Amino acid sequence: MTSPRTTARDAGASSGAPPTAKNMAAVVVLYHHPKDPEAFEKYYAETHGPLVYKHARAIGLRRADFTKFSSGLGGERPQFYRQASLWFDSEDALRKAMAMPEFGELAGDLGNFATGGVTGMISVKTND
């Protein structure tokens, strides 16, 4: 989980022709500031990240982007702590993945380390 951007190949997703960028959809998780950032980072790197990679192929994950916010635009503390974007070939593929037990295991793990809470959304890419 040290890389801020992980390709489908790195995530273990199936190979084949890439989807058109416009059709891709993502589960976006915005992590609120945790009570203990050090404990969050340790768990995220050693447990949750490997769990994402373990299930990547099964759920059809194409790419995973992980970011940590350093500041707001004016230099203030950012509203969110981290963001994870899990990319799929389409919104239909994403919704199928969300119904799988492997995805449920990922979602269920959030309570083990995301002590500040999360905001989750589905996004659809609108440019190529």
* DSSP code for 7: -
Q: Architecture of domain 5-70+77-124 in CATH?
A: 2-Layer Sandwich (3.30)
Give the count of beta carbons closer than 10 Å to the beta carbon of residue 13. Answer: 23
d(CA 40, CA 47): 10
Share of the chain above pLDDT 90, in %: 80
pLDDT at 127: 87
The string of pLDDT tens digits covering residues 72-85 is 999 999 999 999 99
Query: pTM score, two decimals?
Result: 0.82
Listed in sequence order, the residues at least 6 apart from 65 whose beta carbon sits closer than 8 Å to its beta carbon are 4, 5, 6, 83, 84, 85, 87
**pLDDT band, residue 22 (cuts 50/70/90):** confident
Domain ranges of the chain: 5-70+77-124
* DSSP code for 17: S
